Amino acid sequence: MKEKPFWETVALEDMSAEQWESLCDGCGKCCLLKLEDEDTLELAYTEVVCRLLDLGTCQCTRYPERSRLVPDCITLTPDIIPTLRWMPRTCAYRLLSEGKPLPWWHPLISKDPETVHQAGISVRGRVVSERRAGDLEDHIVDWPDEDVG
């Protein structure tokens, strides 16, 4: 009988650091800047990404130092995930914390880090860096919150 993969048998809070890090599909969506309406507290995604994101690989260019360099950058933990209402629906941490399976394009399933891009899930090719974006209000978009597909 085929053994189940670790993300189906190990709880998020019991994963090793290596297992935990491997859950990230590399989509880059959590690095999109968001706007919050002061009155309604509604959140809107923008197509603008953090200045430290590599627009080609969709990876953080300063991952070990990210918290110091970008104080708004949140370090994910099992406890915090359910409280982050802006986490993309496609995010593996959110999917697993909601008891959902990983999709076919996730690199842990496909064994290919490119499938997250090929499936149109990542931010590659559709974002601008905050270094050159200008006014965030001009960049509001809906696509980051689309369904897993």
The whole-angstrom separation of Cα 114 and Cα 65 is 25
Q: Strand ranges (DSSP E) for the chain?
A: 32-36, 43-49, 128-129, 140-141
Nearer CB in complex with ligand SF4: 10/89? 89
The whole-angstrom separation of Cα 68 and Cα 143 is 29
To ligand SF4, the closest distance from the beta carbon of 115 in angstroms equals 13
To ligand SF4, the closest distance from the beta carbon of 67 in angstroms equals 8
To ligand SF4, the closest distance from the beta carbon of 1 in angstroms equals 30
To ligand SF4, the closest distance from the beta carbon of 138 in angstroms equals 20
Nearer CB in complex with ligand SF4: 40/83? 83
Nearer CB in complex with ligand SF4: 39/54? 54
The contact set with ligand SF4 (CB under 6 A) reads: 24-31, 50, 52-53, 60, 66, 70, 73, 88, 91-93
The whole-angstrom separation of Cα 149 and Cα 90 is 9
The whole-angstrom separation of Cα 20 and Cα 121 is 20
- CA-angle at 61, arms to 110 and 114, nearest 5°: 20
Nearer CB in complex with ligand SF4: 4/68? 68
